[in-house]
Structure 1
């Protein structure tokens, strides 16, 4: 049985992880351009254009795959035995959230890479915004953990 205290502890931990990853996106947008404005990385324009198209494509594929992977992790059957003190629903939800948030963060990193190589802030802003939108979609929700716990208790 999932207690309210376990639920609150798990959700607050996930909110801290979520906040840290969103804060890293802000670092990409505000700090990276200031620190890297004088860097002299030269990248051929043709290669940059190819890389740009590839990373934008990978970003959208990552966005779609993130949704499927998260659903797959959450839909997996309940564990047969408890290996830790944490409720299995919290464990499973935490795993799904960390995977989804890490994959969403990768989209922002693609923008940072493009900024480093091409000094195009539009790429940085667009891919970071896409990353932030995905992270907003995967914000930790109590209702999801409760429904997962109910599903695990039925079995």
Structure 2
């Protein structure tokens, strides 16, 4: 039962990441597909978005934080697989998402996003490995799955509330 729940949580999290990275959490896919602006930045950390003339590192921090659970969930679900293949999975996911953005012109393709997403995944992978040196795997897995489900329910509730409020305002 625990394995089914953890795999399901991983699958839902990957879907959520795809929705976040490709569609910016939009319910209206047409607004994303109508974007038609293709940009490519291959210079790392060269173009952090500017707000009021100062550099905004918020998006980079958000990318790192949002990919930490991916690393944690990969470790919960694939204990027998070594660190390097899991690292490559995070890197490949991030590169694929950025390439899809470029190909379909649905966002800005940026090497900084690949780097920060991957750093987040690595942090999740290493955090899990570090914690399991001191605490039993099963306890950590239960905590990660419980917190993950709680956060997923909270996120879905917030998005449903937001969608409901938007419909009321129409």
Which of these two proteins has the greater Rg computed from alpha carbons? 1
Q: Indicate the structure with greater helix content.
A: 1
**TM over 0.5, shorter chain:** no
Q: TM-score range by the shorter chain?
A: 0.3 to 0.5
TM-score, normalisation: structure 1: 0.33
TM-score, normalisation: structure 2: 0.31
Higher RCO (CA < 8 A, seq sep 6+): 1
